[in-house]
Amino acid sequence: MAAKFDLNKEVVVIIGSGAGGGTLGNELAQKGIDVVILEAGKRHEISDFANDEWPMFSKISWLDKRTTSGTWRVSRDFPNLPAWIVKAVGGSTVHWAGASLRLQAHEFKARTTYGAVKGANLLDWPITLQELEPYYARAEDKMGVTGTHGIPRLPGNNNYKVLAAGAKKVGYKSFHSGNMAINSQPRDGRASCQQIGFCFQGCKSGAKWSTLYTEIPKGEKTGRLEVRPDAQALKIEHDKSGRVTGVMYADSKGNRSLQKARVVCVAGNSIESPRLLLNSSSTMFPNGLANSSGQVGNNYMRHMTGSVYGIFEKPVHMFRGTTMAGIVMDEARFDTKRGFVGGYEMETLSLGVPFTAAFLDPGSWGREFSSAMDAYDSMAGMWLVGEDMPQENNRVTLHATEKDAFGLPIPNVAFSDHGNDVAMRNHAFKQGKAIYDAVGAKRTVFTPPYPSTHNLGTNRMSAKAKDGVVNKWGQTHDVKNLFVSDGSQFTTGGAENPTLTIVTLAIRQAEYIAKSMSERTL
C-alpha cells in the first residue's frame, strides 16, 4: 500500500518523480526510509497514453511559461519553450526514447582532457568512471538495458537499416541497435517491445522503462513512499542553523501546504531545480539556497544537437518501430583533429507527420518545405547528440518582472552556442549526410536543434565549494541536508544521453543518504 504521511512528519522530501527523483524515492523506500515525492504534474497511467503527437504533447509537456534569450535558434522559433520535457508523474522518463549509455572515462575529466577551452567553464567531475561502474551496472540491470547483462539487443527497424547500411559504407565500425532501456524480451513483469513507435508519447506496452510504472509502484509497495501529484514546490524552508526543514508547495487551485522534511532532494530537471533554489532565497541565503558559489543556474548545457533527414527513392517508413532504433558511436571519441573537443553520437530518430511538419525546419514554407513533407514515407532520420561546452553565461535566471500563477518569478533560459558546439554540429551534419548519401539519398535536410530534451549542469558537482553547487554525492556544499538528484548536477555533459547516468547517481546517492541517516550525520 502506498504510504500517506502527515505534513508534520519529518520525511525525506524529493521534488520531482523522473529518472532522478523516482529512482531515488524507490531506492530509499526499499531501505526502509519514509519518502514523500512532490510532483508538479498529474498522474497519468499507460491507459491515458495515445499514439497521437499533439494531444499527448499538450497532455504531458511542461508548458508553464518560460522565457528565453541568447542567440540559439530555439529562442527565435520557440521563445517560450526552451525545453521539451514532461510535467507528470514519471517526469521525462514518460517520453524519453530509452537510450542508455555510460559516459566515457575521459568525459569525467573534461578540464584535464580538453585543457583550457576559451570561453568555456570546464571542470573535472569529482568522481571517476571507475567509481561509478558498479552503480552503472545496477542501473542497467534495473532498467533492463539491451546489450548489457546478457540482454539481447532489439531488432533494427527500417530506419536503423538505412543508418547501418550507410555507416558501413562510410567505414564506421561501431554501430548497432543501441543500448536501450526497452525490453527486447519480457523482463521485470513488463512485456517486450511491439515496435509500436510513439516512444515520445508514452509507451503503450510498458516495454520502455519509466519510473511511472517501475520504480514508483515498487516504492509504493513498501509502504514507505508517497507520491503527491499536482504539488508544485514553491520554496524550501530552513531554520536558524541553516538546515532545511520542509518544502512549501501548492496544488493547481493554489492551496498551499508545508511538508516537514529531515532531508530535501531536488530533482525537478535543470530549469526548475535551480529556479526553486533561487526562489528559496532568504536573509540567511540572499542569493538563493546553496548558492554561495554563485553557480546556481549557471553552466546550463543542452547537448550539441541537430538532426539529419535523408530522402530516398524507396520507402523507409521511419515511424514504424522504436523511435531511437540504433546508434553510430564512432564519432563519440576524443579527437581534436576534427576541429573540436568532445564527441558526438548519431542515433536514429523518427517523428510522425505532425511533429515533422513543426520541427523539420521551423518557419519554412512553400514548395521547398512541402516537397520534403511529400517524401515523408521515404525519409530516414537521425539525431546528433554531443558534448556542449559549459559556459557561465548560459544560465537559468529568475525573470525580473514576469510571475507564475503562484506569484513567483518565472525562469529565463539564456543560451548561445560555443564555437566548439558550432564546429561539432557542422562536422556532425556533414557526417550524417555522408551516411545517407552513401545509400543513395536524393536529398538531405539539416534540422536545427529541437527545444532541449537534455537539460544539464545548472547545479553542478564540484570538488571545491567555490566551483559548483554540490559535492560528489549530490549534497549541496552549503546545506548538509539538501541534495540535488537530477541532471543539473552534471559537471559536464559528455556525448551520451544522460538518463542512465542520472539513474546511476540516484542509486549511489540513496546509499549515501541512507548511511548518513543511520549514522546520524544527517
Asked if 63 touches another protein (CB under 8 A), the answer is yes
CA torsion sign for 163, 164, 170, 173 is positive
Q: Which of residues 455-514 bind another protein (CB under 8 A)?
A: none
413 forms bridges with which residues in the sheet? 68, 396
Give, in order, the Cα–Cα distances in Å from 412 to each of 24, 47, 66, 75, 275.
28, 35, 6, 11, 9
**Which residues make Cβ contacts (< 8 Å) with residue 16, sequence separation at least 6?**
22, 37, 38, 39, 40, 91, 266, 267, 268, 269, 272, 273, 485, 486
Asked if 58 touches another protein (CB under 8 A), the answer is yes
Find the part of the chain contacting another protein (CB under 8 A) among 164-172, 241-249, 252-260, 340-348: 164-172
69 forms bridges with which residues in the sheet? 414
Asked if 156 touches another protein (CB under 8 A), the answer is yes
Asked if 392 touches another protein (CB under 8 A), the answer is no
Q: Which is nearer to another protein, 57 or 406 (CB)?
A: 57
Q: How far apart are CA 239 and CA 245, in angstroms?
A: 6
Asked if 400 touches another protein (CB under 8 A), the answer is yes
Among 161, 427, 460, 472, binds another protein (CB under 8 A): 161
Q: Which is nearer to another protein, 111 or 204 (CB)?
A: 204
Asked if 205 touches another protein (CB under 8 A), the answer is yes
* Grid cell locating 55: 494531444
Question: Which of 67, 99, 35 has its CA nearest to residue 503?
Answer: 99
Q: Which is nearer to another protein, 169 or 187 (CB)?
A: 169
CB of 285 to another protein, least distance (A): 11
CB 283 within 8 A of CB 360: no
Q: Which of residues 402-421 bind another protein (CB under 8 A)?
A: 412, 414
Asked if 88 touches another protein (CB under 8 A), the answer is no
Among 81, 263, 495, 522, binds another protein (CB under 8 A): 81
Q: Is 152 exposed, middle or buried (0-12, 13-18, 19+ CB in 10 A)?
A: exposed
Among 288, 343, 381, 487, binds another protein (CB under 8 A): 288
For residue 500, report the phi and psi dihedrals to the nearest 5 degrees.
-60, -40
Query: Going residue by residue from 430 to 449, which x/- string records binding to another protein, judged by CB under 8 A?
Result: --------xxx---------
* Sequence letter at residue 13: V
Q: Which is nearer to another protein, 147 or 166 (CB)?
A: 166
Asked if 211 touches another protein (CB under 8 A), the answer is no
Q: Which of residues 291-310 bind another protein (CB under 8 A)?
A: 297
Own/partner contacts of 369-372, CB < 8 Å, gap of 24 or more, are: 372/309, 372/311, 372/443, 372/445
Among 137, 358, 423, 465, binds another protein (CB under 8 A): 358
Can you state the percent helix, strand and coil of the chain, rounding each to 5? Answer: 30, 20, 50
Q: Which is nearer to another protein, 76 or 466 (CB)?
A: 76
Q: Which is nearer to another protein, 71 or 112 (CB)?
A: 71
Q: Which is nearer to another protein, 23 or 412 (CB)?
A: 412
For residue 345, report the phi and psi dihedrals to the nearest 5 degrees.
-105, 155
Q: Which of residues 309-348 bind another protein (CB under 8 A)?
A: 312-317, 319-321
Among 129, 137, 357, 463, binds another protein (CB under 8 A): 357
